[in-house]
Amino acid sequence: MTLLAYLLLSGLTTGALYALIALGIVVVNKATGVINFAHGELFMFSGFFAWMLHVQMGVPYLPALLLAVAFGFMLGVLIDLTAFRPLKNSDVISLVLATIGIAFMLRGTARVLWGGKSDYLPFPPITSPEPVMIGELMVIPQQLLVLAGAIVIMLVFAAFFRLTRAGKMMQATADNAKASTLVGIRVDRIYMLSFGTGAAIAAAAAVLMAPLTLLYPDMGFSFFIKGFAAAVLGGLTSLPGAVVGGVAIGVIEALAGGYLHSSFIEVSAFIVIMFVLIARPTGLFGPSGLRRV
């Protein structure tokens, strides 16, 4: 029983991270209809940036977190300006490949700036590494912090979308860009805001996660693919779906890793993706697609 509880908690924690990444992907996709394949690299790069601030420059954790989130936001805006805007009317292939190109530029830059292929940078934990006992469960405080932090961030963004004007404008644009233009919403600005927000969420996730694992330039893609799987599972345009999807994948991974074999951790996300896409391509909460001719 304890193993199960432990695995669930572990899965919940990583799941919360995947949920945040998925959220960032869905925010951008909902508004612009585009999947930003550089999303994982945004996550990675912001993480390294926070590392640089906190570890190399001695900036305290919380300010480093906020600066990294702001930095992430700007990276997102940069992607909007360099890749999305010039290609807004092109086909899917072009947009996907362009964001992939940017992903590689970011990855290469991180590698050049902060480490070669096998350098893994440690990020000091915020809380003491001493595990505490909750009931029968041995828990590392950092995990709880991640979970709590993720929940806080999700609530903040939920509030942002529901309560602020900008958030509502983003929803409107996502629903109907043309109509939004007609009521005076500056759709271009909203796209930029969406890219920035999506990236900011990724940055927050990175800084939350950094103390738990090591940073390395190739991590972007593996988190992206899991976030993407979570987003697809939840239906690419559903924000709550992204959260559910993320948690589901985190838990599935933990259970597979614990009960089957550790090597299954890597691959469960892919198996999930393949099954979901074949059985119900629009995900759990997505719309059922009808093609109009």
Partner 1 sequence: MALFGRHNVLLAMLLFAAVAPSLLNAYYVFVANTILIYVLLAIGLNILVGCAGQLAFANAAMFGIGAYGTGLLQVQLGWPFWLAFPSGAIIATTVGLALSLPALRLSGLYLALSTLAFAQFTQWVFLHWESVTFGAGGFKTPSISFAPLPVSKTLGLYYLSLLLVIILFFLAQNLMRSRIGRAFVAVRDGDIAAQSLGVDLLRYKALAFGISGFYAGIAGGLYSAMLNFVSPEGFDLFQMVIQKAMVVVGGLGSIAGSILGATALVSVLEALRAVKGFQEIVFGAILVSFIIFMPGGIIGFLKAKVRGWEEPLHRGPPGKRVPIATPSQSGEVRS
Partner 2 sequence: MSDALLSVRGVSVTFGGVKVLNGVDLDVKPGEIRGLIGPNGAGKTTLLNVICGIHSPQQGDVLLDGVSIAGRKPSDIARLGLGRTFQTSQLFRGMSVLENLMTGRHHRTKAGLIAASLNLRSYREEEEQAEEAARRSLEFFGMSEFAERPGSALSFGQQRVIEIARTLIGDPKVVLLDEPAVGLSINRLAEFDALLRRIRDEKGVTLILIEHVIRLVMDVCDQVTVLSSGSRIAEGPPDLVRNDPAVIEAYIGKDLRARHSAS
Q: Which residues in this chain contact partner 2 in the complex, by CB under 8 A?
A: 288, 290, 293
d(CA 131, CA 147): 15
Region class of 235: left (phi > 0), else alpha (psi between -120 and 50), else beta? left
**Binding track, positions 206-235, relative to partner 1; x by CB under 8 A:** -----------x---x---x--xx--x---
Q: Which is nearer to partner 2, 278 or 293 (CB)?
A: 293
d(CA 228, CA 28): 12
Q: Which is nearer to partner 2, 91 or 130 (CB)?
A: 91
Measured in degrees and rounded to the nearest 5, phi and psi for residue 75 equal: -60, -40
Treating both helix axes as pointing N-terminal to C-terminal, what angle do 2-32 and 141-163 enclose, rounded to 10 degrees? 30
Q: Which is nearer to partner 2, 108 or 287 (CB)?
A: 287
Binding at 288: pick from partner 1, partner 2, none (beta carbon under 5-8 Å per type)? partner 2
Q: Which is nearer to partner 2, 258 or 286 (CB)?
A: 286
Q: Does 164 bind partner 1 (CB under 8 A)?
A: no
Instruction: Give me the residues paired with residue 177 across strands.
Output: none
Q: Give the binding-site size for partner 1 (rule: CB under 8 A).
A: 48
Q: Does 94 bind partner 1 (CB under 8 A)?
A: yes
Q: Does 274 bind partner 1 (CB under 8 A)?
A: yes
CB 13 within 8 A of CB 149: no
Pair of tokens at residue 17: 């991270």
Q: Does 90 bind partner 1 (CB under 8 A)?
A: yes
Q: How far is the CB of 125 from partner 1 (least distance, A)?
A: 28
Q: Does 81 bind partner 1 (CB under 8 A)?
A: no
Q: Does 16 bind partner 1 (CB under 8 A)?
A: no
CB 135 within 8 A of CB 9: no
Closest CA to 186 of 170, 162, 175: 170
CB 106 within 8 A of CB 38: yes
What is the end-to-end Cα distance of the chain in Å, rounded?
A: 54
* Interface stretch with partner 1, choices 3-11, 206-214, 244-252, 268-276 (CB under 8 A): 268-276
**Pairing verdict, β 137-139 and 132-134:** antiparallel
Q: Does 201 bind partner 1 (CB under 8 A)?
A: no
| Residue in the block written with tokens 């939350």 | 208
Q: Does 259 bind partner 1 (CB under 8 A)?
A: no
Count CB neighbours of 172 within 10 A: 17
Binding at 70: pick from partner 1, partner 2, none (beta carbon under 5-8 Å per type)? none
CB 221 within 8 A of CB 269: no
Q: How far is the CB of 293 from partner 2 (least distance, A)?
A: 5
Binding at 290: pick from partner 2, partner 1, none (beta carbon under 5-8 Å per type)? partner 2
Q: Which is nearer to partner 2, 111 or 280 (CB)?
A: 280
Q: Give the footprint of partner 1 on this chain (CB under 8 A).
A: 35, 82-83, 86-87, 89-94, 96-98, 100-112, 116-117, 217, 221, 225, 228-229, 232, 263, 266-267, 269-271, 273-274, 277-278, 281, 291, 293
